[in-house]
Structure 1
């Protein structure tokens, strides 16, 4: 199952504040013996500006440029931040692994995969015992997800119906209530599926240098 959770961690906060228009995303995280190595994408910012900030960021002990991609850059970053270290080791102990994380300015939004719900609870309890405030937003059974861009089957159904019935045309050829009636659901349910499915599609295609980091909440 896939879990989305928010955590307040100082990692790269100075860089995020200085490069206020930049996106900072972690794609890989490996922690061992108090040292964490993260693979991160930062952009859209020129490389000199990124590295000037990384050099001044107290949460980073070392960094190395890997490659440019899109309008940003990939880096390997080392940190001794205790919160990130606890997250990395707790994921490993709970048989989970990171799918991605995004710096939002106020906190980090993590997305991770776990084999079962008991693993999620074990992971959460370990963080709480370490005085780390974890805010779990969604727990999604990934067997519900479509292989096409991460949308769920109900989201895919309403998106395709909206396309086929002219909901996206200007002017619209059908209304939200028309879609809901055809699917046999409420207008509110149709609206939520449509919005969440659209959000996931944009995140999976336009918003990231490669894979999305934050998935859609379950139905």
Structure 2
């Protein structure tokens, strides 16, 4: 089952972020929802920046063959980028693990990505490759596209989310414990046994939705 991850990366940590360098409140946004590669010519929007100076700077990069404005508006410009993505460690890690970039937006310091991977295993391999390359990723969200309604709670139902967050706030998982299941039950208005079962199911749901555990793995 495919999985979608949203993460942030420093603009300095990968070549594309360095190529598409902007300043101030300017942003760069990927337009084409396709994998980036040597044979692909992606489209990017640049917002709130000088088109001429930006494109000239992009063209001077040694791995860029051409950057061509396509549509020009008062506050934004759409342009094509012809470049060799093989030199980019982040893009190479995405491609090498079957990832597809769904969305990418960059500012002067940070890029935000949304990438679909074929499985949790491929996502885990991508994360390992980034660690090996020294690329620091800040993962903000991982979810299954087949069940988007549970995205904000990572697979937890509302009662599970309530019980688990209450247990953490009251110190149930601290050492020593800050409360008992009986005290949690009193707060939630359910039985001691129901709290225990709800916490168990919450942990199973959370791990299943966020960690690379593929069905059929031993």
- Aligned equivalents of 1:97 and 1:15: distance in 2? 20
> What's the counterpart of residue 110 of structure 2?
107
Q: Superposition pairs for residues 7-26 of structure 1, below 5 Å?
A: 7=9, 8-11=13-16, 13=18, 16-18=21-23, 20-26=24-30
Q: Does the 8 A contact of 2:25 with 2:107 survive in 1?
A: no
> CA separation of 1:82/1:141 partners in 2, compared to 1, >3 Å: closer, same or farther?
same
- Which structure: larger Rg? 2
Q: Does the 8 A contact of 1:16 with 1:22 survive in 2?
A: no
Q: Does 1:30 align with 2:36?
A: yes
Deviation at 1:15, TM superposition (A): 5.7
**TM-score (norm. length: structure 1):** 0.54
Q: Does the 8 A contact of 1:27 with 1:98 survive in 2?
A: no
> What's the counterpart of residue 78 of structure 1?
82
Q: Superposition pairs for residues 168-207 of structure 1, below 5 Å?
A: 185=162
> Matched residue pairs, number?
152
> What's the counterpart of residue 168 of structure 1?
none
- Aligned equivalents of 1:89 and 1:26: distance in 2? 17
> What's the counterpart of residue 51 of structure 2?
50
**TM-score (norm. length: structure 2):** 0.54
- Aligned equivalents of 1:13 and 1:127: distance in 2? 17
Unaligned runs of at least 5 residues, structure 1 = 155-179, 190-217
Q: For 1:148-175, what per-residue CA distance to the aligned partner results, in whole angstroms no more than 9, with x for missing partners?
A: xxx9587xxxxxxxxxxxxxxxxxxxxx
> CA separation of 1:5/1:153 partners in 2, compared to 1, >3 Å: closer, same or farther?
closer
Q: Superposition pairs for residues 40-189 of structure 1, below 5 Å?
A: 40-45=44-49, 49-57=50-58, 58-59=60-61, 60-68=64-72, 71-80=75-84, 84=88, 86-129=89-132, 131-137=133-139, 138-146=141-149, 152=151, 185=162
> CA separation of 1:14/1:115 partners in 2, compared to 1, >3 Å: closer, same or farther?
closer
- Aligned equivalents of 1:56 and 1:14: distance in 2? 8
> CA separation of 1:17/1:94 partners in 2, compared to 1, >3 Å: closer, same or farther?
closer
